[in-house]
């Protein structure tokens, strides 16, 4: 115990899905009575689309609520709202942080090609209660999170997978 964590009230994580065992780790190794939660955002949104509210319950592996000014929904392939089944996370209305357009794209053709013509989606899979099941990063860079690689390799390589993911991204 090198640091005094007495004043630490909230421990928030972001960037990837928080696994249930991480909650135990934070409460057992960091601070027992700290509020541990996660938030979720996207590059295209330029901010958070799901966050936490300390007045709401926090459940392991779930995110409490949509961020302010975000009309968030979970939809099927036809764009219908779904609850309790796997669907796509969509932001149904423009938000203050969504880009108005792209540089040198006066007719918005590149913007529509890049971000789609139907639902404004950031292509993450979600089940009714704001439980992220993984991310399908489909954007300009076709990137993926190292947690995706680690999850896939983890079944076969155990702890070694974390190091493989780290090495692959540091080239």
Task: Flag whether 4 is in a domain.
Answer: no
Instruction: Give the CB-side neighbour count of residue 93, counting CA atoms within 13 A.
Output: 6
- pLDDT value at position 80? 87
Q: How far apart are CA 120 and CA 123, in angstroms?
A: 9
- pLDDT value at position 14? 79
Task: Flag whether 60 is in a domain.
Answer: yes
Task: Flag whether 155 is in a domain.
Answer: yes
Task: Flag whether 5 is in a domain.
Answer: no
The domain tally of the chain equals 1
- pLDDT value at position 127? 40
- pLDDT value at position 158? 57
Task: Flag whether 1 is in a domain.
Answer: no
CATH number, domain with residue 153: 3.40.50.12780
Strands (E), 14-69: 35-38, 40-42, 47-51, 65-66
List per-block mean pLDDT (blocks of 10 residues) for the chain, which spans 171 residues: 88 77 89 88 76 83 81 83 78 72 80 58 41 40 46 56 44 38
Find the domain containing 82 and state its range.
10-170
- pLDDT value at position 148? 53
Task: Flag whether 3 is in a domain.
Answer: no
Q: In what order do the strands lie in the sheet with 65-66?
A: 40-42, 47-51, 65-66
């Amino acid at each position: 115990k090198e640091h005094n964590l007495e004043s630490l009230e909230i421990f928030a994580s972001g960037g990837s899905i928080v696994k249930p065992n991480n909650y135990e780790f934070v409460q057992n190794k960091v601070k027992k009575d700290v509020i541990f939660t996660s938030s979720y955002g996207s590059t295209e949104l330029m901010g958070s689309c799901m966050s936490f509210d300390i007045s709401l319950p926090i459940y392991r592996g779930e995110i409490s609520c949509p961020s302010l000014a975000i009309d968030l929904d979970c939809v099927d392939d036809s764009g219908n709202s779904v609850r309790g089944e796997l669907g796509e996370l969509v932001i149904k209305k423009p938000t203050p942080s969504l880009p108005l357009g792209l540089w040198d794209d006066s007719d918005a053709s590149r913007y529509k090609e890049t971000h789609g013509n139907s639902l404004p989606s950031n292509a993450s899979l979600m089940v009714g209660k704001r439980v992220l099941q993984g991310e399908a990063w489909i954007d300009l860079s076709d990137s993926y999170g190292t947690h995706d690689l680690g999850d896939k390799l983890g079944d076969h390589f155990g702890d070694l997978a974390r190091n493989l993911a780290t090495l692959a991204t540091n080239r």
